[in-house]
Chains A and B, each alone.
Chain A
């Protein structure tokens, strides 16, 4: 099944001058694929990712995720859609610093309100185990190491069992040991859980080990 499809995407930046950053991008990603988006700095890969995440709505073309066309939906509808179907991992963990690890992970599910608090808590504990950070649940998010924080962010992205996980240089801030841990986690999720993963990355080694590489150069697919 197609997890994500992109049709003739064009995007311009207007400030300071008119810059055509994405030109006629079209591709499809199947469920369970582990895709890396690579390209030189300024090639437009992060811009593309944010379009795919539904957080950026300023573009021409059509994006569909999980069979639903997201292009044209209103802000509130997009927020709901994100909540349920997309898990996002940024380069910086962006956890809420004053909340506990467990609370951080549970928040998107508490917002979705599809499961009870107990069910959500159980799922969160499972994810903690899966990502090898069990034991940290009560700690404040600001008080754990960088690598642990990134894994908490991944757990948070997974809590609603989203159709797609999108990562914007998810290992950019991590040392090689933690990068490997994160990569292995993604690999495992794709292979064993059928999770679709799209990651923008600078790391060639990371990219080489993915199922598929989408390369951008000067805003166009290579």
Chain B
């Protein structure tokens, strides 16, 4: 240990209480940063997961393109003018005629984690006198369950029952209540084509979203196809999930190359979710930065005080022949050590707080405890920033002190 380090060491160890205060300020700042980041990220992730319990990342369906394609191309002769009035797009087909072919194409794409086809149609559902409009949802039970964990939300019955018999259905709890049916009852279903059929209720589903629970009627996709007289491979949408929901746009563009049907990433269909997710991220960053800046000021204040207290000793050292660089080295050493100790304890304290919060009970929706995220990059960033701040906080006052004239201090 050279002379300067020896001096720094004695300065540090001779005033333990001061050292503690300095270390604690670093500890506090870093632990709060770690905790707030983990908490906010946990909440953000939870919000996103809730979003995607009912929504897929990408939806493929039959939809008119936005631009109206010209019926006739412009004439080559510059003397002629083309006038087409009332240029419109008319949809000639409904739904996806061959959903299986689309699903087959999708197997080429590596980052897709799940695919399911759905056949959705508006129907009327009747129990004696009570009647309600509902949304018939024909699903591929296994695939649907994989994407949306549908069976978790069943309060009665089993999802696989839909495949075991034809003409069986699972109702949303709100819908069942509205028309007054229970599991085991029969209902009458009327399609928009005027076809009427009888269905038996084999289960009830409650997702927690009122609009869904009051309208949804689940059947197997085969049953739906039969009811609507469509062929084997017909569906109204194909839903796709990818590894990272942030990649939805990119993957949707890839899929669009493979089909003429509309391929819609979740951000397009739900701009408000995308924007709220971005806003939450912005708030999280703003809060984190604020914590770091405030902590930084605190640390700077303390380091400044420490140097100012030792101003006489700095003058004595200079009188003995220590130069400006030595003075800076002595105080920088002290602040770096404070930063290291404070940083490490800050990380540990932050981690501990996160663990505690992780166990706080919070029963709402799918949550049982408060959500937190464990992201090692938070800890690394927090530590690096802590060191940086203490370095600057120590360097600035040390440099000022090193430039002082010892005469002024000693004679003053």
A binding-site residues for B, Cβ under 8 Å: 46, 50, 53, 55-56, 75-76, 79-84, 88, 90, 94-96, 98-99, 103, 107-108, 110-112, 156
Q: How far, in whole Å, are A80 and B407 apart by their CA atoms in the complex? A: 17
Interchain residue pairs A-B with the least CB separation, the first 6: A83-B321, A98-B14, A79-B323, A110-B3, A82-B321, A108-B320
Taking a contact as CB atoms closer than 8 A, the residue among B15, B312, B320, B325 that contacts A83 in the complex is B320
B binding-site residues for A, Cβ under 8 Å: 3, 6-7, 10-11, 14-15, 312-313, 315-326, 405-407, 410-411
Contact A50 B321, beta carbon cutoff 8 Å: no
Contact A55 B323, beta carbon cutoff 8 Å: no
Given A94-B316, A98-B10, A111-B3: A56 and B321 interface contact (C-beta under 8 Å): no
Q: Which residue of B lies closest to A99 (CB)?
A: B10
Contact A156 B320, beta carbon cutoff 8 Å: yes
Q: How far, in whole Å, are A56 and B323 apart by their CA atoms in the complex? A: 14
Q: List 25 A-B contacts (CB under 8 A).
A: A46-B411, A50-B407, A55-B318, A55-B405, A55-B406, A55-B407, A56-B405, A56-B407, A75-B324, A76-B323, A79-B321, A79-B322, A81-B321, A82-B319, A82-B320, A88-B319, A88-B320, A94-B410, A96-B7, A98-B10, A107-B317, A107-B320, A110-B3, A110-B6, A111-B321
Contact B320 A111, beta carbon cutoff 8 Å: yes
Q: Which A residues lie within 8 Å of B3 (CB)?
A: 107, 110-111
Q: Which A residues lie within 8 Å of B320 (CB)?
A: 82-83, 88, 107-108, 111, 156
Contact A76 B325, beta carbon cutoff 8 Å: yes
Contact A90 B321, beta carbon cutoff 8 Å: no
Q: How far, in whole Å, are A90 and B312 apart by their CA atoms in the complex? A: 13
Shortest Cβ gap from B171 to chain A (Å): 80
Q: Which residue of B lies closest to A157 (CB)?
A: B320
Q: Which B residues lie within 8 Å of A80 (CB)?
A: 321, 323
Shortest Cβ gap from A55 to chain B (Å): 5
Q: How far, in whole Å, are A140 and B205 apart by their CA atoms in the complex? A: 80
Contact A50 B316, beta carbon cutoff 8 Å: no
Q: How far, in whole Å, are A82 and B318 apart by their CA atoms in the complex? A: 9
Q: Which A residues lie within 8 Å of B326 (CB)?
A: 111
Shortest Cβ gap from A150 to chain B (Å): 14
Q: Which A residues lie within 8 Å of B312 (CB)?
A: 94
Shortest Cβ gap from B326 to chain A (Å): 7
Contact A84 B319, beta carbon cutoff 8 Å: no
Q: Which residue of A lies closest to B2 (CB)?
A: A110
Q: How far, in whole Å, are A58 and B265 apart by their CA atoms in the complex? A: 74
Shortest Cβ gap from A108 to chain B (Å): 4
Q: How far, in whole Å, are A46 and B412 apart by their CA atoms in the complex? A: 13
Shortest Cβ gap from B143 to chain A (Å): 74
Q: How far, in whole Å, are A46 and B407 apart by their CA atoms in the complex? A: 11
Shortest Cβ gap from B338 to chain A (Å): 17
Shortest Cβ gap from A102 to chain B (Å): 12
Q: How far, in whole Å, are A156 and B317 apart by their CA atoms in the complex? A: 12
Given A82-B321, A111-B320: A90 and B10 interface contact (C-beta under 8 Å): no
Contact A90 B410, beta carbon cutoff 8 Å: yes
Q: How far, in whole Å, are A50 and B14 apart by their CA atoms in the complex? A: 31
Q: Which residue of A lies closest to B319 (CB)?
A: A88
Q: Which A residues lie within 8 Å of B321 (CB)?
A: 79-84, 108, 111-112
Shortest Cβ gap from B262 to chain A (Å): 73
Q: How far, in whole Å, are A217 and B10 apart by their CA atoms in the complex? A: 44
Shortest Cβ gap from A187 to chain B (Å): 24
Extra A-B contacts (4), CB below 8 Å, given A98-B15, A110-B6, A111-B322: A98-B10, A103-B10, A107-B3, A107-B320
Q: Which B residues lie within 8 Å of A84 (CB)?
A: 321
Q: How far, in whole Å, are A65 and B35 apart by their CA atoms in the complex? A: 62
Shortest Cβ gap from A117 to chain B (Å): 10
Q: How far, in whole Å, are A75 and B324 apart by their CA atoms in the complex? A: 8
Q: Which residue of A lies closest to B322 (CB)?
A: A111
